Structure 1
Amino acid sequence: MNTQPAHRLRARLVAQQRASAAARYAAAVDMRGEIENLTREAEEQIREGVWEVGAADRVLAGKTASELTAVIHPPDVQQKMAPIDRLEHLREALAALAIALARVHGPMAWFLAAASTALTPVLHWRALPADGGRAFGAIEPTAAQYADAEQAVRRIRDTLARITTA
């Protein structure tokens, strides 16, 4: 039997949600750095012959790079967009990576999975106000976080485009 008053339980729950949101915020801060390390490793593996890119990988890389280009525009265009549209485009980029991941195995799958994982903080973002602060732990990202995530997607796109000629 729980002896704590309901208001204390609610306060503790709210504190836990805020701590969880703060952790997601911290994780989102260096998305671009994580992607930079990942893409550098992929390019190094290709250059050293560790990852032998096959024809199917090249085709998938090209298709996915095109899909990312369609949803993430140059920085000056993205910055003029409403937050809800920026978030929609980032979610579409994640969806494109997930669909590509479902169609491949081996190093390309590992690369796409790691790229998707690095972008997962986007899944905890919201662009709309939350009634009563209840948003399942979703946070409103800053303009810098949007820019960081969008630049990370551009870096992934650029690496996929280079894979098409590997």
Structure 2
Amino acid sequence: MDMRRIVAVLAEEAEQQIQDQVWQVEPGDRALALKAEAGLRDAVGPADVQETLPEIKRLEHLRETLAVLAVSLARTHGRLAWFLSGALNALEPVLRWRALPADRSGTFGTVLPSPDEYTEAEDAVRRLQDVMAQISKVTTTIRPGPESTERE
């Protein structure tokens, strides 16, 4: 499964959990999601901008997104942490990418990604940006509890 698809599945699950009120988004989650969304947008911009950058810059920006997600993960628990963990896992291939050609020595298992792989990862990050923005805007609605049926 590619990065875009993994992130799409994560996004759908998050949206469903929020809609079903399984995930009660707390004010701290909203604030952290807003900060993460801003960090992701600072790192990876619109497709027309990213695609004009040299590969080394594109890789740098993708690595920055991993840092934003990792720092955010370190600052939360519960469903937001689980979501961020899934996002990091989806983008894990970026950790093995390199932008520079190798000489005759080893590359520590790194690979040169294709232009399509850069685009796929950047698209996944943009989807994450959108989800984080949605999470930051969730207002908590308290469900009414079951009415008491006890009689005196």
What TM-score comes out, normalization by structure 2 length?
0.89
Give the CA deviation at 1:133: 5.7
Give the CA deviation at 1:61: 0.2
The answer to whether the aligner puts 1:109 opposite 2:76 as a matched pair is: no
Letter in structure 1 aligned against 2:65: A
Letter in structure 1 aligned against 2:30: R
Match of 2:145 in 1: none
Out of 93, 97, 100, which is 1:125 matched to? 97
Gaps of 5+ in 2: 139-152
Match of 1:136 in 2: 108
Give SS of 2:104's match.
helix
Q: What is the percent sequence identity of the aligned residues?
A: 50
- How many angstroms apart in 1 are the aligned matches of 2:105 and 2:53? 25
Q: CA RMSD in A?
A: 0.9
- How many angstroms apart in 1 are the aligned matches of 2:108 and 2:39? 29
1:10-34: CA deviation from partner (whole Å, max 9, x where unpaired)? xxxxxxxxxxxxxxxxx6xx11111
The answer to whether the aligner puts 1:77 opposite 2:49 as a matched pair is: yes
Kindly report structure 1 stretches of 4+ aligned residues shifted beyond 4 Å: none
Give SS of 2:15's match.
helix
Q: Within 5 A, what are the aligned runs for 1:23-34?
A: 30-34=2-6
Give SS of 1:80's match.
coil
Gaps of 5+ in 1: 1-26
Give SS of 1:132's match.
coil
- How many angstroms apart in 2 are the aligned matches of 1:76 and 1:165? 27
- How many angstroms apart in 2 are the aligned matches of 1:162 and 1:100? 16
- How many angstroms apart in 1 are the aligned matches of 2:37 and 2:43? 10
Give the CA deviation at 1:41: 0.5
Match of 1:64 in 2: 36
Letter in structure 2 aligned against 1:65: E
Give the CA deviation at 1:134: 1.7
- How many angstroms apart in 1 are the aligned matches of 2:137 and 2:52? 33
